[in-house]
Amino acid sequence: MVWIGLLVVTAKTRNELAGFFKIVHVKSLPAHAVRSLLTARKRLVGQRVTFASL
């Protein structure tokens, strides 16, 4: 869907595009891997707690 927006604004200058797109920070691959492991651990701990209470 983003490329459709790019087709519409191809004639605009870089300064005009500054308000059109939101600048975001992309985290590093190791940071993404750590976050994935923490999320997986949190889900597993939650499942263990759920099964233990049955």
**For residue 17, what are the contacts with CB-CB under 8 A and spacing of at least 6?**
9
pLDDT at 52 over 90: yes
The sign of the torsion formed by the CA atoms of 12, 10, 26, 24 equals: positive
pLDDT (tens digit, 9 = 90+) per residue, 10-47?
555 666 666 666 778 889 999 999 999 999 999 999 99
Residue at 10: amino acid letter: T
Burial string for 6-30 (b: 16+ CB within 10 Å, else e) reads eeeeeeeeeeeeeeeeeeeeeeeee
The pLDDT of residue 38: 98
Q: Do 9 and 21 meet the contact criterion of CB atoms below 8 Å apart?
A: no
The pLDDT of residue 4: 57
